[in-house]
Chain A
Amino acid sequence: MLLVLTTGRKNGDDRGIGVTTRRTMRKSIRQRYSLATLALGAVGGHKRWRPAWQSRPLSNRYDIVIVGAGGHGLATAYYLAKNHGCRNVAVVERGWLGGGNVARNTLTIRSNYLRDESIPFYVRSVSLYERLSRELNFNLMHSRRGMIDVIQTWPRLREIRRRQLAMDLHGSAYKQIGVKELRRRIPALTGGGPDSRLPILAGMVHTDAAVNRHDAVAWGYARAANGLGVEIHENTEVTALITNESGAVCGVRTHRGPIAAKKVGLAVSGHTTTLTGPAGLRLPLRSFNLAAFVSEPMKPVVDVVVNCPDLGVYLSQSDKGELVIGGAPDPGQSFRRDVKQTVFEDAVCAMLELFPTFQRVKLLRQWGGHLDIAHDASPILSATPLTGLFVSAGWWGGYKAIPAGGLAFAHLLATGTPHPLMEAFTLDRFRHLDFILESGTTVVV
């Protein structure tokens, strides 16, 4: 019922504005943002600005309920409304919108994947991001500054060259540079010399990589989705899924009362199994803590994203001047949002191996988030054995996937069939253990 009315287009055709025309899109955003409106606002002391999103009373029935107003949940809501004309949609959120991992990540947007299944999806996501500021009329401060992998072992160089050639098949670019050029582009990179423990062998430049402002992504999608009629309900915690007598999911129980829905989409990174478990659905997911930290703000010193896969650390410098640094996840399962000292120290030591001048730079803030990782460490975007229930989970490094992940999840929710870009990423792949292994040859036991 729900999907029939929506698209007059073929599945998967979502490149244009879809059912929503450019004009209705314009109208839907209540108040345009621009230098002119800003100047106009100044005249009145900025009193004319209206809320970026508006709250409506919580209804007890929607066509689609999306659980989780993080990046993926909000993007999904936006594309449901925009591409599929689904407007009777509510996004319900336990805390404040944009407060999930979208609020606590390291912003790196890239498409340097290994597998034919993965690369096109991430290429799409990167390109959606590039025009998103204009599309949402919200400045995401999208900065396509490129990423450089610092290669310190030969097996790594071989693996990254393999990626380079695989990526080329799908329109993503990697370019190898020598050590001299690497140091020219990153003058602060003074470690890793010929006598160091792991001398730098080469650099690999991923020109498509970008960073942007995470809060703006959440707010931009929320504002645009809300403008198209989607409701966003903060402080509305889902406590359980409601199933009917035939075992299908037909709504969610919240602490503000039950909400009936024809379809329920979970976009609750880390907490997927918390919700599906009590409904009797077991998923191949484990929740982990991944942490990040920032330095004090400094004048520009690193103007690309620097990734050091052999040492397990990566960093970039925000427009405010803070170094944003991330490392490996805490190995054990965790639902914590802080940082384990061991994991943190490892990342700091790894960074200082390559950037010894940062010894006197100070740590300003650190935090963590939890995410779920599938058995094969690739995302799951899928219908489930429970009719009416759909999950978008297993994203780690899911920030870069927000636009395409939202696009594909909206497609799945609206049409019931996987988006062509995500066909390989359903739960079906586990039936025959057909893993999508980005890690290549590494086996973890």
Chain B
Amino acid sequence: MVESFRLATGGRIDRTRPLTFTFNGRTMRGSQGDTLASALLANGVRLAGRSFKYHRPRGIISSGIEEPGVFVERLGADASANEPATMIPLVDGLAARSVKGWPSPAFDLGGINQVLRPILPAGFYYKTLIWPSWMTFEPFIRQAAGLAHAPRTPPPPGTRFETRHHHCDLLVAGAGPAGLMAALTAARCGLRVMIADMNPEPGGRLLDRRLEVDGKPGPEWAVDTAAAFAGMTNVVHLQNALVWAVREHNLFMVREQHSGTDGPLERNWAVRTRQAVIATGAIERMLVFPDNDRPGVMLASAVQAYINRYAVGPGRRAVVVTNNDGTADVAHDMLRAGIDIAAIVDTRANTAERWRSRFPDVRVLDAAEPSGVVGRTRVRAIRAITRSGRNRAVTVSCDFVAVSGGWNPSVQLWSQARLPLRFDHPAATFLPSGRSGSLLCAGSAAGRCDLASAIADGAAAGTEAAARLGYEARPDLPAASDSAPFRIEAWWHPDAAGGSGRAFVDIMNDVTLADIRLAVREGYRAIEHVKRYTTAGMGLDQGRTGNVNVIAAVATETGQDIGDVGVTTFRAPVAPVSFGAIQGDRKGSAVLPYRHTPLTRWTIEQGAVMYEAGARWRRPGYFPRSGETMVQAVDREARAVRTGVGVYDGSPLGTFAIKGPDAGRLLDMVYTNRFSGLGEGAGRYGLMLTDDGRILDDGVSFRTGPHAFLMSTSTANAETVYRHIRKFLAFDRPEWSVRITDITCQHMNATVCGPRAREVVAALETDIDLSRDAFPFMTFRDGTVAGHPARVARVSFTGELSFEINVRPRNLRNLWDRILEAGAPFGITPIGSETNHVLRVEKGFLSTAHEVDGTTDPIDLGMAWILPAAKGDFIGKRSVFLRRASGRPRRELVGLHTEDPERVLPEGAPITENGRRQASVGFVTASVWSGTCGRSIALALIENGRARKGSDAHVRIGGEIVRARIVEPCFYDPSGTALRG
């Protein structure tokens, strides 16, 4: 296929580098420097897609990010959905297809919706499809909606995304004339500058036009300026980089895309800047008239871009429809490119003379309104009505239409920063207003449309940004060839109701003028209501070419001034940004880091079942031997501890050193019971509460010196406890002389437990006297164990004789090996957390993750002894007793024996009065099979549970009621003989 609409000369494409691509299965050719859109136009493709709701034929309308007409799905390795054809740089072998249109845009079965259009006005779905139920229709609606397909596979291997952090003095968004000048001015006086622009090349609209700056063609000046940046170490210059969000504390997000072969596909920059200049340009508006969406109706600025930048004539014979003087430049470039202008339709009155003085051979209709388009899949003619004298209808044949409804500054970033906009009647658009201490707007983004004032404005913004940071800039203003004033008289839409159903205000989302009128008629008058009811402006293009037209239509219908209707909120992102770019390289353990002990690798090698055990520690659940089920493995491990000896890695328990003259006072304050009276070397179990009387944690603390304690916490709550204590000291008792240090990772331990634990530890060679009298329960000793300096503590979480051997982390693996060696004759068995759970349930030991529920307090848990009445204030004291003063029944900890001893209850199962299906009176907190007891055992919290001992509880498991006898919450060695052994 030939590029029959390619101009012979000009453009910024490289004709020596032809490229081949496929679109909707057809193979075509383009050139390096093309976008998919320009290549399609060069190949004469007019009908390139179908619309969202009515499946109307659509063609390319714009040349940039504002494209509302043609969205494509990229295929192959670059697969991505819903890309505007105007933003895809052409590469060799590119394959794409239209997003809508099945089986093809030319023969689209969904076109049936065009026939149904009369009963599908805005919001029709709110009024119908209720019977028999929405879900009857939903699958069809879902299938019909939704544009492109979701990707089915992850990006190919090697695709990388990256995040980078950057700090600078000035961020300039946009590298058009204003942005380049702002950056240049600020950089020359020494500011650290970042300039980011979303297009492949700098220059902005200079690339689309034939203007001169500093005596050379505009694009050349942009290239030279960029070259100057390259020579400055204080400038970072990015192209293909969209500034997509403004966040708190001057944080800007910039998405940089790479088309190269190496490096990341996309890089997301988090830029913290002191000042920012928004020089993001402006976007041309469509005019609202019947069939303004027909393929071939294009924005005038796009026509100019295709001619000058891509050397493509969108057609042979054009009609220009305008309400401003800016289009004169476009008309000039069209004629120069050999395109015939059949007519200029100007909605303003008395402009014919002005046009004729410039274009003597062109037919001009002033005071004229476009009233329709002839041609369905491509423009064949345009209709207009002139208002002068009597209404005269005119039809002018043409093969494309260049439309300009004026310009909308791209003020998204300004608006995202919650800065105001105001409607400016002379410019017929919304302009940034208000003032910010760190943001400036420049160039056409601030409504300065002609080149000379855009350049001056950019330089002024750079100067101002520098001045705010204490620098003095001396801008050097280059001469510019264009300084013609931009004149506009708004013409928003036809008055006549006729045809308004086909006059589109939002082409992407198929919203017509009639839809806006209907919405207002039905009471949806607030602009947010109109937007939501009609979906205007909510498409991928964010309604860039149509939003102001929507606002104007609402103003007309409600009789308000446009400025009073106001704008809808601009929200990030400025344009769609892939989630991959936002993710960067945060994946897997970078999202959720995990912690491991020196034994984790050994544990995994043993084939242990590993899982997350709180506070991001990975721990073994149990160590199954081949063929063993979980229950069998846990049974075996538990039996070893009860009858022989077991060993486990207790390293993840939180460990804190507390030192200072007020250390004892601090512990007395954070624990419910007293610690200040402990003797050196002795330890005690304690409970910690929050001030609103909820249980925070439990653990054992030892006195290690006159002013020093060693505190241990549960694994999961270690950080919470640490934060709690530090906060209390920082704000509530800053005068106390005491410090807490997290030494969890300085102390790692292996805990040997079981009746034969003492023999195993003795076999390790230690200078510590292990005898019961010399080393009683709840004390610790420092010494040497297996050649390593060690602190050995006699605490027990299993109910058996236990030695917790703490060593430096680097010695733990060796200690572990030595323990297994020394324990081998005794059948030592490594045990996992599941076994620990069974052992502690047998003993009725507290697990805060299980037995603490909501406002459970120590008395509920049968630990009234831990709240000594004689003790002074401690954290949580007041609240525990205040809560109890209400007299409401409390849920108390009890044990359960199921009627059927084999039946293991599910943890969490509710208990109700007589098993009725009603609000519960308690629930099963923990439940296990106990090999030691030879039956199922459980712990539960039940209202007034202690008074119910001996009676039955009714556990309700779905429809089933399981009876269980309420017993003491301790199933093994209630006197504690074993652990003191």
In the bound complex, residues from chain B placing their C-beta under 8 Å from that of A351 are: 579
Query: Is A367 an interface position by the 8 A CB rule?
Result: yes
Report B537 CB to chain A, min CB distance, Å: 11
Can you list 8 residue pairs at the A/B interface with Cβ under 8 Å? A33-B128, A38-B124, A103-B528, A141-B138, A296-B148, A298-B148, A359-B159, A360-B580
Residues of B within 8 A of A45 (CB): 497, 501, 514
Residues A365 and B146 in contact, CB atoms below 8 Å apart: no
Q: Contact flags (1/0) for B234-258 with A, using CB distance below 8 Å?
A: 0000000000010110010100000
Of the listed stretches A252-260, A384-392, A402-410, A434-442, name the one at the interface; the rest are far from the partner chain: A434-442
Count how many pairs of residues, one from A and one from B, have CB atoms less than 8 Å apart in the complex: 316
* Binary contact readout B111-151 vs A (1 if CB under 8 angstroms, 0 otherwise): 00000001101001111111101110010011101111111
A367 to chain B minimum Cβ distance, whole angstroms, is: 5
B-side contacts of A362, CB under 8 Å: 80-82, 576-579
Contact call B578/A49, Cβ cutoff below 8 A: no
Which residues of B are found within 8 Å of A50, using beta-carbon distances?
Answer: 521-522
By the criterion of a CB under 8 Å from any partner CB, how many residues of chain A are at the interface?
Answer: 109
- Among the 9-residue stretches A12-20, A164-172, A243-251, the one with 4 or more Cβ atoms under 8 Å from chain B is A164-172
Contact across chains for A298 and B573 when beta carbons are under 8 A apart: no
Interface 9-mer from B654-662, B786-794, B905-913: B905-913
* Among A46, A141, A297, A317, contact of B518 (Cβ-Cβ < 8 Å): A46
A216 to B124, CA, bound (A): 12
Contact A357 B152 (CB under 8 A): yes
**Minimal Cβ-Cβ distance residue in A for B500:** A45
Q: Are A153 and B522 in contact (CB under 8 A)?
A: no
Query: Does chain A have a CB within 8 A of B693?
Result: yes
Kindly report which residue of chain A lies nearest to residue B887, judged by CB atoms.
A432
* A432, B888: Cβ atoms closer than 8 Å: yes
B958 at the interface (CB under 8 A from A): yes
Residues of B within 8 A of A339 (CB): 247, 572
The reply to whether the CB of B720 lies closer than 8 angstroms to some CB of chain A is yes
Complex contact A434–B910 (CB within 8 A): no
Contact check, A155 vs B849: say whether CB atoms are below 8 A apart. Answer: yes
Q: Tell me the minimal C-beta distance from B375 to chain A in angstroms.
A: 24
Flag whether A7 is at the interface (Cβ < 8 A). no
CA distance A317 to B621 in the complex (A): 37
Whole-angstrom distance between the alpha carbons of A348 and B591 in the complex? 10
A359 close to B579 (CB less than 8 A): yes
CA distance A240 to B884 in the complex (A): 38
Additional A-B contacts beyond A49-B521, A154-B612, A296-B147 (17; CB < 8 A): A33-B128, A52-B522, A99-B528, A139-B127, A142-B133, A142-B134, A165-B910, A165-B957, A169-B917, A215-B533, A349-B586, A353-B591, A358-B579, A433-B879, A434-B855, A440-B853, A443-B720
Bound-state CA distance A375–B127 (Å) is 42
In contact, A363 and B532 (Cβ under 8 angstroms): no
Inter-chain contacts of B107 with A (CB < 8 A): none
Please name all residues of chain A whose beta carbon is closer than 8 Å to the beta carbon of B245 when the two chains form the complex.
Answer: 341
Establish whether residues A46 and B134, one from each chain, have CB atoms under 8 Å apart when the complex forms.
no
**Residues of A with Cβ closer than 8 Å to B?**
33-35, 37-39, 41-42, 45-47, 49-54, 95-96, 98-99, 103, 116, 133-134, 137-145, 152-155, 158-159, 161-163, 165-166, 168-170, 188, 190, 196-198, 213, 215-216, 219-220, 234, 295-301, 303, 311, 317, 319-321, 337-341, 344-345, 348-353, 356-367, 375, 431-437, 440-441, 443, 445
Chain A residues in 8 Å Cβ range of B629: none
Give the interface SS of chain A, mostly helix, strand, loop or mixed.
Answer: loop
Contact across chains for A440 and B854 when beta carbons are under 8 A apart = yes
Judge if B523 is at the interface, Cβ distance under 8 Å: yes
Q: From B126, B497, B917, name the one whose CB has the most chain A CB atoms within 10 angstroms.
A: B126
Least distance between B246 CB and chain A CB atoms (Å): 9
Within 8 A of A (CB), among B147-166: 147-155, 159, 161
Pick from A158, A166, A299: contact of B149, CB under 8 Å: A299
Interface centre among A153, A344, A352, A436 (most CB of B within 10 A): A352
B28-36, B454-462, B918-926 - the one binding chain A: B918-926
A215 to B578, CA, bound (A): 27
B357 within 8 A of A: no
Q: Are A162 and B523 in contact (CB under 8 A)?
A: no
Q: Quick check: is B848 within 8 A (CB to CB) of the other chain?
A: yes
By a CB distance below 8 angstroms, the chain A residues around B576 are 296, 362-364
Min CB distance, A51 to chain B, in Å? Answer: 3
A300 and B589 form a contact (CB under 8 A): no
- The reply to whether A353 and B588 contact each other, CB–CB distance below 8 Å, is yes
